Chains A and B, each alone.
Chain A
């Protein structure tokens, strides 16, 4: 229950961190909030030979709104983002999701970028990022690139980041008119890993019909699960209970393939997902009408 020995570096600039990453590649494990990595190291499930502690790089902690999106530095604490007014006003889905991430003690250390780069299928932020179509800034000592959310998540605990790259910033699109957002999940106890949950986005047209929809689920696959056919079933329909129920059925029966876990069978996860879909769509619709 103690970490195996490792070499420790705490660079104070991004350039220094990228140089370490270029030199050590996969052996140089970035330490963000450590709220998943250090437990894994305590269990010795993870035994990195070298840690690159990113906590001393001020340029990775910022929240700005340049144009059309809110940019969040990867090392921004979840607790800072939770209380941030820009996020609350312009990215309501993210604002609603963050309090569901574990407990306050965890959010005081855990970072936005760390959680996204960890890509745990049970975590909230990948679902929000995929639902909103967030963009990920990956930097290396050779340069930088922006990665779309749909290309960023590459399966169980896997991302598109190369071994010399660090996730430095995430751009979340800001809310748009006639669009409602909802995040909801069910956990056995507040802050525990959710058994199921989703981010729902509904855009209404001038006639109050559904113009666009997005449904992305957590913990029911090897990453955030985009229920594309369920969302497509809503287009052009009146935002009413029957349509929501059908979307929940398609999402839970066709779009997802939950593994189940010690707390919930796959059938139960499908059931929860279907029920939560109806609730999330109803809430998102209400919000879209006044947006």
Chain B
């Protein structure tokens, strides 16, 4: 059954057209077809959150979506956050400053979860942050520095907004 479908997907503002088998997962499409390897594949069954990307602006798990389902939609991956190598997103800067990562494997998924969270929640408290990242597993940090970094990011984003 070697059926394939043409799809057009916009990732970080760039439009990509490809033929895909319907069984191709969106995470694999992003990594292998679009060549954007910042999106990480951890558990491949929707538990670890490493593959989180923005689908029409909302965080979703790209390992439990089919690439064909992204046809005609807009995605943002972690590569879409920084304006340039010298000009990172305030959330990225906050993670750097507050040691919000160690090995970094979970970080792209956590960032893509937090970007829309912090847009909706300008001044979250610690409990809200912990709930927001409850769908993302980190095996290094024990989460404390991720929480600290997120609270710092909220502060930075508010400063940018002022």
Do A and B associate with each other?
A: yes
Interface check B98, CB cutoff 8 A: no
- Knowing A39-B45, A108-B55, the reply to whether A6 touches B64 (Cβ < 8 A) is no
Q: Scan residues 142-164 of chain A and give those whose CB is less than 8 A from a CB of chain B.
A: none
Chain B residue at minimal CB-CB distance from A9: B22
State the Cβ distance, B85 to closest chain A Cβ, in Å: 28
Interfacial chain B residues near A103, Cβ < 8 Å: 49, 134-135
Per-residue CB contact flags for chain B residues 1-27 toward chain A (1 = under 8 Å, else 0) read 111010000000000000001110100
A contact face: mostly helix, strand, loop, or mixed:
loop
With most chain A CB atoms within 10 A of its CB, the pick from B2, B5, B66 is: B66
Could you tell me if B68 and A42 are in contact, using CB atoms closer than 8 angstroms?
Answer: no
In whole angstroms, how far apart are the Cα atoms of A191 and B59 in the complex? 15
Q: Scan residues 226-271 of chain A and give those whose CB is less than 8 A from a CB of chain B.
A: none
Could you tell me if B135 and A191 are in contact, using CB atoms closer than 8 angstroms?
Answer: yes
State the Cβ distance, B129 to closest chain A Cβ, in Å: 12
In whole angstroms, how far apart are the Cα atoms of A288 and B21 in the complex? 54
Could you tell me if B134 and A191 are in contact, using CB atoms closer than 8 angstroms?
Answer: yes
Per-residue CB contact flags for chain A residues 34-63 toward chain B (1 = under 8 Å, else 0) read 110011011100000001010100000000
In whole angstroms, how far apart are the Cα atoms of A88 and B63 in the complex? 31
Per the CB 8 Å criterion, the residue count for chain B at the interface is: 32
Could you tell me if B46 and A38 are in contact, using CB atoms closer than 8 angstroms?
Answer: yes
Interfacial chain A residues near B23, Cβ < 8 Å: 2-6, 41
Q: Indicate which residue in A4, A6, A8, A189 contacts B134 across the interface (CB closer than 8 Å).
A: A189
In whole angstroms, how far apart are the Cα atoms of A146 and B132 in the complex? 38
- Knowing A8-B22, A34-B65, A35-B64, the reply to whether A43 touches B45 (Cβ < 8 A) is yes
Could you tell me if A108 and B58 are in contact, using CB atoms closer than 8 angstroms?
Answer: yes
In whole angstroms, how far apart are the Cα atoms of A51 and B66 in the complex? 11
Could you tell me if A55 and B69 are in contact, using CB atoms closer than 8 angstroms?
Answer: yes
Could you tell me if B65 and A108 are in contact, using CB atoms closer than 8 angstroms?
Answer: no
State the Cβ distance, B130 to closest chain A Cβ, in Å: 8
Interface check A206, CB cutoff 8 A: no
Could you tell me if A108 and B69 are in contact, using CB atoms closer than 8 angstroms?
Answer: no
Q: Scan residues 11-47 of chain A and give those whose CB is less than 8 A from a CB of chain B.
A: 34-35, 38-39, 41-43
Q: Indicate which residue in B1, B44, B131 contacts A6 across the interface (CB closer than 8 Å).
A: B1
Per-residue CB contact flags for chain B residues 34-73 toward chain A (1 = under 8 Å, else 0) read 0000000000111001001001001111011110110000
Interface check B113, CB cutoff 8 A: yes
Interfacial chain A residues near B49, Cβ < 8 Å: 103, 105
Q: Scan residues 73-101 of chain B and give those whose CB is less than 8 A from a CB of chain A.
A: none
With most chain B CB atoms within 10 A of its CB, the pick from A8, A10, A34, A103 is: A103
Could you tell me if B59 and A108 are in contact, using CB atoms closer than 8 angstroms?
Answer: yes
Interface check A85, CB cutoff 8 A: no
Q: Indicate which residue in A2, A10, A43, A191 contacts B68 across the interface (CB closer than 8 Å).
A: A10
- Knowing A5-B23, A6-B22, A8-B3, the reply to whether A104 touches B132 (Cβ < 8 A) is yes
Interfacial chain B residues near A191, Cβ < 8 Å: 134-135
Chain A residue at minimal CB-CB distance from B68: A8
Per-residue CB contact flags for chain B residues 105-139 toward chain A (1 = under 8 Å, else 0) read 00000000100010000000000001110110000
Per-residue CB contact flags for chain A residues 90-114 toward chain B (1 = under 8 Å, else 0) read 0000000000001111101100000
State the Cβ distance, A123 to closest chain B Cβ, in Å: 14
Residues of A at under 8 Å CB distance from B? 1-8, 10, 34-35, 38-39, 41-43, 51, 53, 55, 79, 102-106, 108-109, 189-191
Q: A8-B3, A38-B65, A106-B135 are in contact. List 19 more A-B contacts (CB 8 A).
A: A7-B1, A7-B3, A8-B68, A10-B68, A34-B66, A35-B46, A35-B64, A38-B64, A38-B66, A39-B46, A39-B64, A42-B45, A53-B68, A55-B69, A105-B49, A105-B59, A106-B46, A108-B60, A109-B65
List 11 A-B residue pairs with CB atoms under 8 Å apart, sorted by A's residue number: A8-B68, A35-B61, A38-B25, A39-B45, A41-B23, A51-B22, A103-B134, A103-B135, A105-B113, A106-B61, A190-B130
The 7 A-B pairs of least Cβ separation, nearest first, read A103-B135, A8-B22, A39-B45, A38-B64, A3-B23, A190-B134, A5-B1
